[in-house]
Amino acid sequence: MARKLLVLGEVREGSLRNVTFEAVAAAKTAANGGEVVGVLFGESVSALGAEFVQYGADRVVTVENEKLKQYTSDGYAQALLAVIDQESPEGIIFGHTALGKDLAPRIAAKLQSGLISDVTGLEEEGENLVFTRPIYSGKAFEKKIVIDGLIFATIRPNNIAPLEKDEAKTGDVSSLSVDIKDLRQIIKEVVRKATEGVDLSEAKVIVAGGRGVKSEEGFEPLKELSDVLGGAIGASRGACDADYCDYSLQIGQTGKVVTPDLYIACGISGAIQHLAGMSNSKVIVAINKDPEANIFKVADYGIVGDLFEVLPMLTAEFKQLLVNA
Please report, for the chain, the start and end positions of each structural domain, with discontinuous segments joined by +: 5-175, 200-324
The count of C-alpha atoms lying within 13 angstroms of the C-alpha of 97, restricted to the half-sphere facing its C-beta, is: 22
Residues listed for the chain: 325
246: left (phi over 0), alpha (psi -120 to 50) or beta: beta
Closest to 72 measured CA to CA, from 188, 153, 178, 156? 188
Enter the CATH code of domain 5-175: 3.40.50.620
* 157 vs 23: CA distance, rounded Å: 9
Helix H segments across 14-97? 18-31, 49-54, 73-87
What pLDDT score was predicted for residue 100?
Answer: 96
164: left (phi over 0), alpha (psi -120 to 50) or beta: beta
What pLDDT score was predicted for residue 197?
Answer: 65
CATH 3.40.50.1220 fits 200-324, yes or no: yes
What pLDDT score was predicted for residue 196?
Answer: 58
* 109 vs 81: CA distance, rounded Å: 12
Closest to 134 measured CA to CA, from 1, 277, 294, 2? 277
The count of C-alpha atoms lying within 13 angstroms of the C-alpha of 1, restricted to the half-sphere facing its C-beta, is: 9
Cα 297 to Cα 221, 257, 269, 279, 291, distances in angstroms: 24, 19, 11, 10, 10
The count of C-alpha atoms lying within 13 angstroms of the C-alpha of 56, restricted to the half-sphere facing its C-beta, is: 24
* 156 vs 177: CA distance, rounded Å: 30
Residues of the chain with pLDDT under 50: none
Q: CA 27, 177, 111, 119: dihedral to nearest 10 degrees?
A: 30
The count of C-alpha atoms lying within 13 angstroms of the C-alpha of 188, restricted to the half-sphere facing its C-beta, is: 1
* 176 vs 125: CA distance, rounded Å: 35
What pLDDT score was predicted for residue 199?
Answer: 81
5-175 against 200-324: fold identical: yes
> Quick check: helix, strand or coil at residue 135?
strand
Sign of CA dihedral 291, 294, 299, 305: negative
* 255 vs 247: CA distance, rounded Å: 8
DSSP symbol at 212? G
Q: Are 138 and 263 in contact (CB under 8 A)?
A: no
